[in-house]
Structure 1
Amino acid sequence: MNDLAFIDDLKTALPRLDAERAGEVLFGAPHLSMFDVLGDSEMQLSRTFAMLLDPRGAHGQGPLFLNAFLRRLGLRERKRSEACTVRTEHTTAYGRIDILLEMPDATVVIENKPWSGLGHRQLERYAEFLATIRGKGTRLVFLSQWDVEDGGEALGHYVHMPFVGSEHSFAECLEGAIPAVKAYRAEVLVRDVVDHLERRFGGRTRSMDPLQGEIRSRLDDDPSAARIVTAIVADQNHVRDWMTDRLGQAIIEALPQGYEILEQKRNLTRRRIDRSAFRLSEFGWEMYSCLMFRNPRWPANCSIGFSPDATGRRSVVVGINAPQASKGAPCDARDEIDGLLVAAEIDVKTVEHWPAWDYAEPRDWDGQQLANFFHKTDCAPLTNTRFAEMLEYLQSLASILDAKYDPPAPKEVAPHA
């Protein structure tokens, strides 16, 4: 079979494979995850982890998950009757603690950092907090896929626990406890948490699609299949750029023609991009760089757009970019924009640079995650509900700014005859 015949043969098999996929979705719901509904923000993950570590949590398994966690920290396991208080977002004089475990003879501080870096002296401050606790065993846990290069005074006084990829990871901790889980619903929940961590931080994909299975089954027996697949992998950057540009086209078509397009580098230098020549794949993708769309009538340093919150197209955020006065390239109208969002009664997340932001859909625009997204949507991004909702979110933010800074001219009233 020649190369083109292999492609034609796969096309012929698509109806059968689509029927198999429909059956798997109907009877197995392989893509169902609570995180697709609730999200996986830092706070949402902290609440989920805290619930599992709480012996009184809704999982009903007592100290099962807590003890699996404590064993990795070298602390004594707890009996079901022993007290353990679990708090989230606990405020102290040393900073707000993501998860705090308090037991009669031990205190554990967990700093959960799935997406962002540490604040100023954050681990050092929590180490100082634990130093005020006398007569107890204490542990400071840095829960993050990436360790810090320099923990300052806290170096040697904290335990780095990655989410995945190690026998000491948090996912491994939970997965090791699953055989002892008695409740079916609790087991499903924990498996969902472990699977989500493996996909988000370890690169694991969801259950294999029938089309993917068909290709894999032919690789060993059909030389043309191997040639096709290896050619695609060798040209993966071009394929990724093609997918990225499809997203970019959908984005600019959702915005008014008169908007400027700008790329802002991490060092705050900017370049204007002609709309007719716009290709999203050519965006620089530096951490904290920003792709901006703006009405020229909006205040200076105010735009809507996208920014990768990590190096290399990862954790892309979308919203209004209008930095506060204390940040580089500040927007003098930031307070006014905050007021507009409050008046519009839009439920938004806000930080120093972004008066309104959320994670983009898909969240990661690297090759594998983007390919999974396009595969699920049959290469038609607008059929994905969450992608369409992201565009609507962007349009609604633009409409709020336009209504204030570029309102339509009042209609002329014809004089009475």
Structure 2
Amino acid sequence: MGDAKLGQWLNLLVCVLILLKAEGGSVGITYLESAVAKGAVCLDGSAPAYHFDKGSGSGANNWVVHMEGGGWCNNVETCLDRKTTDLGSSKKMDKSFGFSGILGSKQSSNPDFFNWNRIKVRYCDGSSFTGDAFDPANKLYFRGARVWQAIMDDLMAKGMRNAQNAILSGCSAGGLASILNCDRFRSLFPATTKVKCIADAGFFLNAKDVSGGSHIGTFYSQVVATHGSAKNLPASCTSRMRPELCFFPQNVVPFMQTPIFFINSGYDSWQIKNILAPSAADSKKEWKNCKLDFKKCSAPQLKIIQDYRTLFVSTITKAAGSSPARGMWIDSCYAHCQSGRQVTWSSDSSTLVAKTKIASAVGDWFHERGVVRKIDCPYPCNPTCQSSDSESNLPQDINA
């Protein structure tokens, strides 16, 4: 390698290190080996894992537990593929993880949570932490619910049981998990603990696709059946309707008891690509370019996308109801997952909705400094938009 090329690489490395330091640094992994005996394991049978940055000062007794995203596997074939990756095996996970956004450790950029105990729960089950089954023929461990419980038990033993404030959050499939496990998380603590949940890009809509079918409905039914999730979905929902319908937040949120905040785009990029216009519903590939860039959409396609946003906003506001305990920040950016990176969480260039950054909206809601319901105007009205699909790890095609 020439001196010039080497110099470029060194400069890049320095920039990366500076960025990591500025946003909270790199946090080492904890393998929960004691969970294996309880059958609380990843798809391949390996121990579950998380990253833990200990709180200090005024945040020493406050906790934010953030669950990683990464889609779902809906049958043996897709779960076998997944088990060979970091989304199915802790053996494949990076040994360290850079904390940023809601997990960031700088007061200037994360003023409400910077010195809390901050945990990143790694995702290796493919069911949004709801499964409890085993496939001996293929040695697939569908144990998401056990993994979630084992990690919570371990954190409680490490001091979370004494929390004054506690948040369960997550992005994408982890955001869905924060909804499905929110009341269960609340039940871990005494009544004196302030417990709330945050779902980032986790409100997946039960909607028809462009062919008039329900691709996402079929897919979620397969996830629930494959993982044996029914018994671990909220009973407040499954007592009223079929279990597979309780994988959709719109059917769970109305019956939740714990306060929750929704961070979402009305034009969630993953939902547009996989719920509204999945490849299976677009045999002629008429939506291929439109899904990559709204500027390449035809007028009829934009109308369909605008109708989807209207349906999303009406569905989430109806599910949330009028309680101030349910807050939301809904932008009009083509984005998916916006709480895990500083640039979208709280920076000089962060997206604004009603002149408010995500970090400010979440902080105001958690600390009850006012009712927080921020809903953006329709595309393309917001010039501050920052596209983001950070930490979601979701494939661009639900069938991938």
The answer, yes or no, to whether TM exceeds 0.5 is no
Larger Rg, first or second structure (1 or 2): 1
TM-score by length of 2: 0.30
Instruction: Give the number of the structure whose residues are more often helix, by fraction.
Output: 1
State the TM-score, normalized to the length of structure 1.
0.29
Q: Relative contact order (C-alpha < 8 Å, sep 6+): which is higher?
A: 2
